[in-house]
Amino acid sequence: MLHQHGLELRDLRHLLLSHIHLDHAGAAGVLVREHPALQVHVSEIGAPHLSDPTRLEASARRLYGDTFDTLWGELAPVPQENIRVVGTKVLGLECFPSPGHASHHVCYLAGDGTLYAGDAAGVRLQPDRTVLPPTPPPDFDLDEWFGTIDEIEKRRPSRLALVHFGVADDPGPHLAELRQRLADWTRRAGEGVTEEQFSASVRKDVTASGGDAEIYERAMPFWQSYAGLERYWEQRRAS
């Protein structure tokens, strides 16, 4: 992607992380090792796990088991001097907390109305219209995610830049569908469906809305979302 824009890694000065899940931040330490001038911007909650990824790796290994090394490779620490804890402004962008998908999630809003949403606005495989909420463990929280959607809508972005994948130019309908699916998925998990039943219902929903269920499941494995929903209900029942 950098080469397509005539750039090399050495041309990058800043890496803005939405959160520290491995598909977003897992290569940060290796990138800094190859390019020691790179500054990594991350939330206050996420920062300690970049400088010492021991607990992050242990948690991920429990989730991914024997596939961890194949999927993610080395989790190298980011030197403390390369870490910048985000505030309300980062390089001219508005930055605000956006928990729900993860407690350490932040979004960035540009002056042109583009929201760099990380996973807070869900997964949508452009040009498909289907929007799905990735709800992996350990800290998916429905009420917090609803609050994040409120915060996004309040800022009235003109477009949503989705890490998975592309730019959505219809923020209103997109966020409305995300909100509805979050409610539906959480309800289903709370009713005691099995992982197999949950995944089958999601595949049916995606197909019914014109999406390719197989590709969506590759982008965000449905078993991971089920695991996060199951943990959410376990915590609520124990409290």
Pair (95, 77) in one structural domain: no
Pair (75, 137) in one structural domain: no
Pair (79, 137) in one structural domain: no
Pair (62, 96) in one structural domain: no
Mean pLDDT score, 112-120: 98
**pLDDT for the residue numbered 196:** 97
Residue 37 has pLDDT above 90, yes or no: yes
Mean pLDDT score, 30-42: 95
Give me the residues paired with residue 93 across strands.
90
Inter-CA distances, 148 with 47, 145, 193, 205, Å: 21, 5, 27, 24
Q: Which domain holds residue 175?
A: 89-238
Pair (141, 40) in one structural domain: no
Pair (78, 97) in one structural domain: no
Inter-CA distances, 28 with 9, 16, 94, 126, 138, Å: 12, 10, 22, 26, 21
Residue 2 has pLDDT above 80, yes or no: no
**pLDDT for the residue numbered 186:** 98
Distance CA 230, CA 186 (A): 9
Which residue matches tokens 């959410």? 232
| Range of weakest confidence among 94-98, 137-141, 148-152 | 137-141
| Range of weakest confidence among 10-19, 110-119, 140-149 | 10-19
**pLDDT for the residue numbered 222:** 97
Pair (95, 203) in one structural domain: yes
Pair (176, 131) in one structural domain: yes
**pLDDT for the residue numbered 127:** 85
